[in-house]
Amino acid sequence: MTPLSPAPSSPTPAGHALVTGASSGIGAAIAREYAARGVPLILTARREDRLQQLADDLRRQVPVEVIASDLADPAAPAALVEEIHRRGLKVRILVNNAGYGVAGRYRVNDWPTHAAFLQLMIGAVSELIWRLLPDLRESGHGRIVNVSSVAGLVPGADGQTLYAPVKAYMVKLSESLHLENLDRGVNVTALCPGFTLSEFHDVTGTRGMMDKLPGWIWLQAGDVARAGIDAAERGQVVCVPGWRYKLLVFVAKHLPESWLLGLMKRNSKKYRKVD
């Protein structure tokens, strides 16, 4: 049985948690976890119907606002923040979770596909932080959770060429932002899970490959959500849920790079499209 989230030891600070990519997977799990902790929510994603279903469920616990937005559109981050402020809402917690993977080697996909991916994973993340940072700093208890990946902490794989680089960017961005904003009570955390049960691999078309992996390799989205939120509250900058993935990252930091690249080359076909 999954343990219940601990009750806050003091009243929850004022302000909403904005969760991007909240319609499923880790994003939905993070929204549920914040609702269980009494934090009002702003949910955004492309699929408004899925957001409304989640919001209807969570409104039994906390106030929930829904704003549908496709953050792969360069105009979307500014429009999203404008709508938040138009509704008179203050963001105290920003969770940058929206994301996906582009399957196949670099030249398999056209440039507009890669450009949309980079806009969502780097452009939108960076702009939302920039636009909302004044609110987070003003709250005196702001939190940013950037949902990165173990992929950003180990050598790149063959296939999904841009995925590891953008996840590494989120780690480094989190580290710098944390140092810059500690004086105003803002904690910034890069949440770096490994393989997590969600719709991610359905979207990338690799579900068949994933189903062949052993069960022990998978994390539960709820466990990942709790680990990330707890890490942000502690001021932990990089959070790797699960002892197996902690061990993987530790080993990756200490083995010669040539060995690691060789291992990635031999194993990429097990979980990436490489043709």
**H-only helix segments in the chain:** 25-36, 48-58, 76-86, 111-118, 125-139, 163-181, 200-203, 207-210, 221-234, 243-254, 257-267
Give me the pLDDT at residue 139, please: 94
Kindly report the average pLDDT of the chain as a whole number: 89
Region 147-162: mean pLDDT is 91
Does pLDDT of 82 surpass 80? Answer: yes
pLDDT at position 249 is 93
What are the tens digits of pLDDT across the range 175-204?
999 999 999 999 999 999 999 986 554 454
Q: At what angle do helices 76-86 and 125-139 cross, to 10 degrees?
A: 30
CA distance 243 to 222: 16
pLDDT band for position 217 (cuts 50, 70, 90): confident
Two structure tokens written together for 212: 């062949």
Is 245 assigned a catalytic role? no
% of the chain exceeding 90 in pLDDT: 75
Residue 45 has pLDDT above 60, yes or no: yes
Locate tokens 């043709």: which residue? 275
pLDDT at 273: 59
Q: How confident is the model at residue 145 (pLDDT cuts 50, 70, 90)?
A: very high
Asked if 163 contacts 151 with a C-beta cutoff of 8 angstroms, the reply is: yes
The answer to whether residue 258 scores a pLDDT higher than 90 is: no
Q: Is 144 helix (H, G, I), strand (E, B) or coil?
A: strand
Segment 195-218 shows an average pLDDT of 61
Quickly state the pLDDT bin for 218 (edges 50, 70, 90).
confident
Q: Tens digits of per-residue pLDDT, 1-40?
A: 334 444 444 568 889 999 999 999 999 999 999 999 999 9
The CA–CA distances, whole Å, from 135 to 82, 84, 204 equal 13, 11, 35
Q: What is the secondary structure of 205-220 as a DSSP string?
A: T-HHHHTTS-GGGPBP
Residue 43 has pLDDT above 70, yes or no: yes
Question: All domains of the chain, ordered by start, with CATH?
Answer: 16-270 (3.40.50.720)
For the chain, the first-to-last Cα distance in angstroms comes to 41
Q: Out of 34, 100, 106, 163, which one is annotated catalytic?
A: 163
Please say if the pLDDT value at position 243 is more than 80.
Answer: yes
Output the pLDDT for position 269: 64
The per-residue b/e assignment along 169-182, b for 16 or more CB within 10 angstroms, e otherwise, is: bbbebbeebbeebe
Compute the distance between CA of residue 17 and CA of residue 218 in angstroms, rounded to an integer.
27
Which pTM does this prediction carry?
0.87
